[in-house]
């Protein structure tokens, strides 16, 4: 079976017993991280403008970001990839949203196996740096100001994409948040999955290693005391009104976060 960028269904950043002087400098340098990230952003933006930024280019640049995050001290723990790699069908990924990191990294994990796009805020597709790249991925765009209009955009656009073999990542929270609040986790994702007749694969993630910046939100500080966790849950079909499945996704995320937070204590 094709494992994409990884050799198995689980991945953990290899640990080194000793580090070179250059490697130690990378760990302590926020400039190194910002420079590498900016270089990829500007390069991919040019490719998107030239209409050559396809799924493979997106996947490759995403994996490149994963690697330099590791070089900057990030430690990844990715589990449960078998929950989507063993199916050829499109699926709906429903995840909590903690930082910029997941938006940048998920394509490197999912992209080698499935055509993929995101549900994104309108501000992202209009962003002067990221807008061209995001628009090239044909995302579903929501404004977050008119729930009825957002529901219509997600339902109509999402069903068409899923029926055409394109999987979708949706973050039901209205904005990124380190603290997971179930009351802010809407049921838009399960409603779309029910209407499209596709399976849901929940994602629990802890990505507060990469914080929010004060001037540029996407270039925040790195916290080397925090490890990066991304966990894919078992696929599920949505029946009825979807309340039960949405609660199962919430429980999956909460229990995963509780486990990871306990490991830090």
pLDDT in tens, 117-147: 999 988 889 988 889 999 999 999 998 777 7
- Cβ 139 vs Cβ 119: under 8 Å: yes
Q: In this model, does residue 27 exceed pLDDT 60?
A: no
- 252: domain CATH number? 3.40.1130
Mean pLDDT for 51-71 is: 93
Rg over CA atoms, the chain: 18
Mean pLDDT for 21-29 is: 57
| pLDDT at res. 191 | 93
53 lies in some domain: yes
Domain that holds residue 225: 11-264
**Which of the residue ranges 16-30, 83-97, 143-157, 211-225 would you say has the lowest mean pLDDT?**
16-30
| pLDDT at res. 181 | 92
Average pLDDT of the residues of the chain: 89
3 lies in some domain: no
Backbone angles phi, psi at 60, to 5 degrees: -65, -45
119 lies in some domain: yes
Structure confidence by residue, pLDDT tens digits, 203-256: 999 999 988 766 566 667 788 889 999 999 999 999 988 999 999 999 999 999
Q: In this model, does residue 20 exceed pLDDT 80?
A: no
179 lies in some domain: yes
Question: Which candidate, 171, 113, 161, places its Cα nearest to that of 137?
Answer: 161
Q: Which residue has the higher pLDDT, 31 or 130?
A: 130
Q: In this model, does residue 28 exceed pLDDT 60?
A: no
Q: What is the percentage of the chain residues whose pLDDT exceeds 90?
A: 62
pLDDT confidence bin for 1, thresholds 50/70/90: very low
6 lies in some domain: no
How many residues in total does the chain contain?
265
5 lies in some domain: no
124 lies in some domain: yes
For the record, the structure tokens of 33 come out as: 């991280």
2 lies in some domain: no
- Cβ 154 vs Cβ 141: under 8 Å: no
| pLDDT at res. 24 | 58
Give how many domains the chain has, as a whole number. Answer: 1
Query: What's the rounded Cα separation, in Å, for the pair 126 and 265?
Result: 40
Give CA separation, 230 vs 12, 52, 136, 233, in Å. Answer: 10, 29, 25, 10
């Amino acid at each position: 079976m094709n494992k994409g960028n990884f050799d198995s269904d689980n991945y953990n950043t290899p640990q080194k017993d000793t580090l070179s002087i250059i490697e130690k400098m990378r760990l302590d340098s926020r400039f190194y991280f910002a420079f590498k990230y900016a270089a990829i952003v500007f390069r991919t933006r040019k490719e998107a403008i030239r209409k050559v930024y396809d799924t493979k280019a997106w996947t490759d640049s995403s994996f490149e970001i994963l690697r330099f995050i590791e070089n900057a001290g990030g430690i990844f723990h990715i589990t449960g990839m078998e929950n989507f790699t063993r199916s050829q069908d499109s699926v709906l990924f429903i995840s909590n949203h903690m930082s910029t990191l997941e938006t940048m990294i998920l394509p490197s994990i999912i992209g080698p196996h499935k055509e993929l796009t995101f549900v994104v805020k309108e501000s992202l597709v209009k962003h002067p740096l990221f807008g061209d790249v995001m628009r090239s991925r044909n995302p579903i765009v929501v404004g977050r100001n008119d729930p009825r209009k957002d529901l219509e955009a997600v339902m109509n656009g999402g069903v068409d994409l899923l029926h055409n073999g394109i999987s979708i990542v949706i973050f039901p929270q209205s904005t990124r948040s380190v603290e997971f609040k179930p009351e802010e986790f809407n049921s838009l994702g399960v409603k779309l999955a029910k209407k499209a007749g596709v399976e849901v694969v929940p994602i629990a993630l802890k990505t507060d290693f990469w914080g929010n910046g004060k001037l540029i939100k996407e270039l925040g500080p790195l916290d080397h005391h925090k490890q990066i966790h991304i966990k894919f849950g078992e696929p599920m079909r949505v029946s009825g009104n979807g309340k039960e499945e949405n609660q199962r996704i919430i429980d999956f995320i909460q229990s995963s976060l509780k486990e990871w937070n306990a490991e830090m204590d």
